[in-house]
Structures are given as C-alpha cells and as structure tokens.
C-alpha cells in the first residue's frame, strides 16, 4: 500500500550500519527510500564484529582489516590474562570503509542518498510526515520532503527520537573517544597486530574500559567514560605511550556518545521509529554496537515494510519486542556485569582474575562470535555463575 502523494515512502535519518542496513532492505522490498547522512562522519569505534555477521548480513570478508586470534585483559595491577580464540576469530573493520560500503549497497538497491543534516519533522496529517533538512549536496539549501514513515538512525543523542518520542529519548550513555594511528604489521614488545587489548584500570577509565584494537596497518586506541570530569584525550595519550605507539602517525581522532541502555519505546504509535544507537542498542559492559545496530536495522526494515503494506502503526512496535526477546537477557546480564565489576579497581582486579577460567573464556567467545548460547552447556553456565558470585562476595580463593 504505497502513498504516491508523498515524496518518499520512508525517510531514513542516519547512514551508519543501522540506517544503511534498513535503507537497503526497505529499498529491496520496492519502496521509495531517502537516506540522509549528515556528513559521512566516522563514529569512534573499536571496529570489532562477530564472524556470524558476515553470513547473516552478506558482508564480504575482504572488508575485514584483521582477524583477531586472542584478547588480552589487563588489570589495575597490570596482571595480563590472555584469552585465545579457538576455531574462530573476531573480525575488525574500519568504519571509514565499512559504512560507505553499506551506504553504497543501499543505493544499489534503489535508495536515494543525500548528504544532509536533519532539522525537524512534523505531521502534515495522520499519514504524512514532513522532514526539514539542510542539503549539503545543494550548497546548504534548506529542503523539505514528505514520507509515510521516518526511521531515525541518527545516533545516541538522536534528534529524531527527541522530536518524535521525547518521553523516552533520554538514555544513559558514555563518551567514547579514540585515535586511529599507523601501527606496525608485526608484533613488537608492547603491541601485537593479532591481539586485542582491553584495559581495566581506573586511571585509564574510572567507570568503563580502554582498548587497543588492531586494524591491520592501523590501530584504534580508545576509551569510554560517563564521567564529565574525565579527560579521554589524556587517557588515550597515556595508553599510546604504554603500547609504544606514542610516536605513531595519527590518522584521525573521533569522539561521540555511546548509549548504554535500550530505550523503553522505539516508536511514536503513528509513523516514527528509531533504530541502532538512537534506540540504545549498544551492549553494556562491552560497548559492542555494530552487530546489534545492523540487526536492529533489519528488524526495523521488516516492521516498516509491514507498516507500509498494512497501514497499521502497531507494526512499528515489533522491532523492540523482537530485539529484546533475542538479546534482552544478554543486555541485562551485561548491565549487571558493568555495574558490579567496573565499580572499583579492587573489583576490576577480581574480574580480570576471573577471566583466567576456561569456562568463562569458552562461554565469552561462544556468545560473542555466535550471538547465542549453546543449551548443551548449561553446566558450564552454572559454573560460571557460581564463580562469578563467589568472586563478587570475596569467597573465591583468587579474590583480592
């Protein structure tokens, strides 16, 4: 059921992984799609993706800059725990190549891409939404377009959410900042291009973590924190020195808020829906967002397609319900993990110590790389839970 009286069937605001994925799949269904991307801006991101994503979203392996074989967790006392990845890998993408590829794929499916900054949306009637934006393709011309549906995929501080779903738009977030630097493609004393490093130290991040993620010939060195008095730049500078990359050429620097909790509602009950970071689907504790953003974009596309065919706004409630059914428990568990283990350096020390456990390592990589837990391993799940509680209560012999 297409409304030819509107300029487009759908206007997608934001051309990152979630928006570009949604635009691609909505256009494939035969609908008229306008994809607005503010500035082809690159979001600060470690770039890690699970291998299952390649098949699920038909992503060519050639986009991977590296295939990481292990992760190293570093505690406040500089205890280093290596977690090898057996039989699989963690893929690394660089967002300055990955995001444009996704947008190009959406264009090939029929979406119209415009470099533009979203300004406002308003309903002209019950079924027509007018979007005002500044087109940077047209010498900063203020333009307007109408659609039956608007999908906001415009980041953690989403203007679409704030205008369309204001009661639910505020979610907890951390500031992520990273620097992409030229890095050696062979291992050095303090850096390994085949290993991710995650630093759990209060001096590097008082409430989250810092990271060094290899991207082939480059590396992402970053940190996250919700503390307003915290200097992310100073922390990254210190971590570059520790990693022996303080003199490496800096390719670019980026910072942006990262949401830490899904919004309680993603639609306005009429024709506005949000997706990806705008909906808050970044995993607590880990900060993982690319996979969840693309899944959210796909679920949103399914709902928008149904809405356009049926004309029933209730269809737009489906993405949140489906996402939370798939990953709500994981997000809840990771939220507890972050709350308990990132609270102090004493607890961070215990957390890194716990990462030595083989059950913890097995379940960590299995859940990350496959995005599901194997039911046959319920005993391992129980053992990990018991060990986790023992560490937290100080009952474990390894607790400090």
- Helix (H) / strand (E) element for 250: namely strand 250-259
Q: What is the mean pLDDT of the chain?
A: 89
Token pair of 365 as six digits: 């990589």
Do the Cβ atoms of 201 and 74 come closer than 8 Å?
yes
Domain definitions of the chain by residue range: 8-43+95-170+262-330, 60-92+172-259, 343-393
Question: If you count them, how many residues does the chain have?
Answer: 400
Q: pLDDT, tens digit, for every residue of 106-132?
A: 999 999 999 999 999 999 999 999 999
The listed CATH number (3.40.50.300, 3.90.650.10, 3.30.9.10, 3.30.450.370) that belongs to domain 60-92+172-259: 3.30.9.10
| pLDDT (mean) for 179-194 | 90
Asked if residue 50 lies in contact with residue 328, where contact means CB atoms within 8 angstroms, the answer is no
Q: What is the dihedral of CA 298, 117, 111, 48, to 10 degrees?
A: -40
Rounded Cα gap, residues 215 and 349, in angstroms: 28
pLDDT given for residue 334 in this prediction: 84
Contact 115, 140 (CB under 8 A): no
At 389, the pLDDT band (50, 70, 90 cuts) reads: very low
CA-based nearest residue to 150, from 274, 279, 278, 18: 274
pLDDT in tens, 226-268: 898 999 999 999 999 999 999 999 999 988 888 989 999 999 9
User: What is the band of 383 on the pLDDT scale with cuts at 50, 70, 90?
Assistant: low
Residue of higher predicted confidence among 47 and 144: 144
Task: Evaluate if residue 373 carries a pLDDT over 60.
Answer: no
Nearest residue to 104 via CA among 59, 146, 135: 59
Q: Would you call 261 helix, strand, or coil by DSSP?
A: coil
Write out pLDDT tens, residues 125-160: 999 999 999 998 777 889 999 999 999 999 999 999
364 vs 266 pLDDT, higher one: 266
Percent of the chain with pLDDT over 70: 90
As beta bridge partners, residue 48 has 92
Percent of the chain at pLDDT above 90? 67
Q: What is the pLDDT of residue 148?
A: 98
Q: Mark 287-310 as b/e (b = at least 16 C-beta within 10 Å).
A: bbbbbbbbbbbbbbbbbbbbbbee
pLDDT at 123: 97
CATH class of 8-43+95-170+262-330: alpha beta
What are the tokens at 387?
Answer: 């060990």
Q: What does the alpha-carbon distance between residue 55 and residue 262 come to, in Å, rounded to a whole number? A: 25
286 pLDDT tier (thresholds 50, 70, 90): confident
384 pLDDT more than 60: no
Average pLDDT over residues 283-301: 93
Reply yes or no on whether the pLDDT at 270 is more than 50: yes
What's the chain's Rg over C-alpha atoms? 22
Q: How far is CA 123 from the centre of its chain?
A: 30
């Amino acid at each position: 059921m297409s409304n030819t009286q509107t300029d487009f069937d759908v206007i997608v605001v934001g051309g990152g992984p979630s928006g570009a994925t949604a635009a691609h799949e909505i256009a494939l269904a035969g609908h008229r799609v306008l994809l607005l991307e503010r500035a082809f801006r690159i979001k600060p991101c470690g770039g890690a993706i699970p291998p299952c994503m390649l098949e699920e979203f038909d992503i060519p392996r050639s986009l991977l800059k590296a295939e990481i074989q292990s992760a190293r967790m570093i505690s406040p006392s500089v205890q280093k725990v290596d977690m090898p990845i057996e039989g699989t890998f963690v893929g690394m993408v660089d967002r300055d190549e990955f995001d444009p590829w996704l947008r190009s794929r959406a264009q090939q499916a029929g979406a119209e891409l415009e470099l533009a900054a979203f300004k406002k949306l308003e309903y002209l009637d019950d079924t027509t939404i007018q979007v005002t934006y500044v087109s940077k393709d047209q010498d900063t011309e203020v333009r307007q377009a109408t659609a039956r549906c608007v999908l906001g995929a415009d980041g953690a501080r989403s203007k679409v959410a704030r205008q369309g779903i204001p009661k639910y738009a505020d979610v907890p977030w951390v500031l992520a900042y990273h620097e992409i630097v030229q890095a050696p493609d062979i291992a050095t004393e303090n850096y390994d291009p085949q290993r991710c490093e995650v630093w759990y130290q209060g001096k590097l991040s008082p409430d989250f973590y810092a990271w060094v993620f290899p991207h082939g010939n480059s590396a992402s060195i970053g940190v996250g924190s919700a503390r307003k008095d915290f200097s992310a730049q100073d922390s990254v500078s210190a971590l570059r020195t520790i990693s022996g990359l303080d003199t490496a050429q800096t390719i670019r620097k980026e910072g942006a808020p990262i949401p830490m909790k899904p919004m309680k509602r993603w639609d306005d009950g009429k024709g506005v829906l949000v997706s990806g970071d705008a909906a808050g689907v970044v995993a607590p504790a880990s900060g993982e967002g690319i996979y969840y953003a693309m899944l959210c974009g796909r679920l949103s596309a399914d709902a928008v397609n149904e809405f356009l065919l049926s004309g029933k706004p209730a269809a737009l409630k489906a993405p949140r319900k489906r996402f939370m059914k798939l990953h709500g428990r994981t997000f809840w568990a990771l939220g507890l993990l972050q709350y308990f283990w990132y609270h102090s350096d004493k607890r961070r020390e215990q957390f890194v110590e716990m990462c030595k456990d083989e059950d913890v390592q097995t379940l960590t990589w299995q859940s990350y790389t496959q995005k599901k837990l194997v039911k046959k391993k319920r005993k391992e799940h129980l053992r990990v839970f018991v060990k986790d509680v023992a560490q937290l209560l100080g009952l474990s012999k390894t607790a400090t």
